[in-house]
Amino acid sequence: MPSNQQIVLDNRPQGEASVSNFKLVTADTPALQDGQVLVHHHYLSLDPYMRGRMNDSKSYAAPQPLGQPMIGGTAGEVVESCHPKFAVGDKVVGMGGWQQYSVVDASVVGALRKVDTTHVPLSDYLGAVGMPGVTAWYGLVKICEPKAGETLVVTAASGAVGSAFGALAKARGCRVVGIAGGKDKCDYVVNDLGFDACIDYKQHSDGKALHVALKAACPNGIDGYFENVGGWILDVVLAQMNAFGRIAVCGMIAGYDGKPQPLAAPALILMSRLKVQGFIVSEHMEVWPEALGELGTLVGTGKFRPRESVAQGIEAAPEAFLGLLKGRNFGKQVVKLV
C-alpha cells in the first residue's frame, strides 16, 4: 500500500487562520478490508466552510479533530477495490480529506459516488456539478423561488457557488446582478457567465457608493438575494429588497475570523416582510439528484463554463485555503495532486 501525505490540523487558530495551524505528515495506508476501496485523489476541494470547522465551538458541524487530515471533498480514481460495485479505474467523488489517498467503506450510502467524465471534467464534480453547485441550486430554487423577470443578486459572484447561482438563475429568465471584488472578476461575471451586471465592491468600497451602484444595476429593486459574505454589504442589499423578497443565507465569510457582523437596520426585515432563511446543503440530500442533473447538463452542453483556481501539490493546500478566505481565488479553488 502506498505511503500517504496528509495535511492535518495541528492547532486551532486564535483569530485569523494561518499556515502554522496546519502540518504536513506522512502516514501508512492500511490494507483494505471487505467492502473498502482505495482512492487516489486527483483533486482536493477547498471551501469556506472549512474555516468554521477549525474552531472548537458550537456550529452546524462537528469541529475538525486535531491531528487528523482536514475534512473536505475529493475527486479521484479507484486504484484498489474490495467492493463489487467499484472497479479499478472508476472515477469517484467523496469526502476523502486533505490527503493523497483515502480508504473508503463503499458500503456506506453516499460515501463514494461514481462520476462520468465524458463531458464534465473530473474537477467540476467538486464545484459546479458538486456541493457548491447544489448549494446554489437549493438557495435559488427552494428559498429564492425565482420567477421569470425578477431581479436576483448574489455576492461572491465569481466563486464556485455564485457563478452556479447565476447560470441557474439566467436559465430561469431572471435578471441577475453579481457583487465581486475586482474588475477582472466583474468582467468575467458579465462577459463569460452572462450576468446582467456585476458591481465591484472594491471600487464602491463604502455603503453609500455601493448603494448607488446597486440601485443603478437593480432599477426595479431586488426580489431574491443569495448571501455568501455578510457584513456591510448585507446592509446595503437589505435597503433595496422589494416587499416579500427572499434571502438565502449560505455563508458569512466576512465574519469567519470572529469579527462581529451587526445588522444596521434589522427592522427592514419586518418592514419589507422578507423571508430570510439559512441552510446547510448536506441536510437536503433529497434534492441532489435533480440539482446535479441540471448542473451537469449546463456544464456538459457548454452553457455554463465554470472557472477554477488550481494550486499544485498537497503542500500548497494551506496557502491556497487562506487565499480563498481573502478572496484571492478566481472561481472554484482546488488543489491538483496528480
Q: How many helices (H) and strands (E) does the chain have?
A: 9, 15
131-282 adopts what CATH topology? Rossmann fold (3.40.50)
Query: Region 233-242: what's the mean pLDDT?
Result: 96
**d(C-alpha 225, C-alpha 141), whole Å:** 12
Residue 60, pLDDT score: 73
Helix 160-171 crosses helix 131-138 at what angle (to 10 degrees)? 50
With respect to CATH, is domain 3-127+306-336 assigned 3.90.180.10?
A: yes
Q: CA angle, 335 as apex, 159 and 201 as ends, to 5°?
A: 25
Q: What is the pLDDT of residues 84-134, one digit of tens each?
A: 999 999 999 999 999 999 999 999 988 999 999 999 999 999 999 999 999
Residue 195, pLDDT score: 98
**Domain-by-domain residue ranges, the chain?**
3-127+306-336, 131-282
Q: What is the pLDDT of residues 312-335, one digit of tens each?
A: 999 999 999 999 999 899 999 999
- Alpha-carbon 107 to chain mean position: 27
Burial class (CB in 10 A: 0-12, 13-18, 19+), 107: middle
Position 262 confidence tier, pLDDT thresholds 50, 70, 90: confident
Query: Region 296-316: what's the mean pLDDT?
Result: 95
Torsion of CA 130, 135, 141, 145, to 10 degrees: -160
Q: What is the pLDDT of residues 158-171, one digit of tens each?
A: 999 999 999 999 99
**d(C-alpha 255, C-alpha 267), whole Å:** 21
Looking at the predicted structure, is the pLDDT value of residue 182 above 90?
Answer: yes
DSSP H helices in 172-218: 183-191, 207-217
Q: In sequence order, what are the beta bridge partners of 222? A: 241
Work out the mean pLDDT of the chain and round it to a whole number. Answer: 95
Helix (H, G, I), strand (E, B) or coil at 175: strand
Backbone angles phi, psi at 46, to 5 degrees: -115, 130
This prediction has a pTM of 0.91
Query: Which one is predicted more confidently, 37 or 253?
Result: 37
**d(C-alpha 71, C-alpha 94), whole Å:** 11
Range in 63-72, 93-102, 245-254, 264-273 with the lowest mean pLDDT: 245-254
Quick one: what percent of the chain has pLDDT higher than 90? 89
Query: Region 130-148: what's the mean pLDDT?
Result: 97
Residue with cell 459574505: 229
Residue 57, pLDDT score: 80
| CB atoms inside a 10 Å sphere around CB 14 | 10
Looking at the predicted structure, is the pLDDT value of residue 1 above 80?
Answer: no
Residue 83, pLDDT score: 97
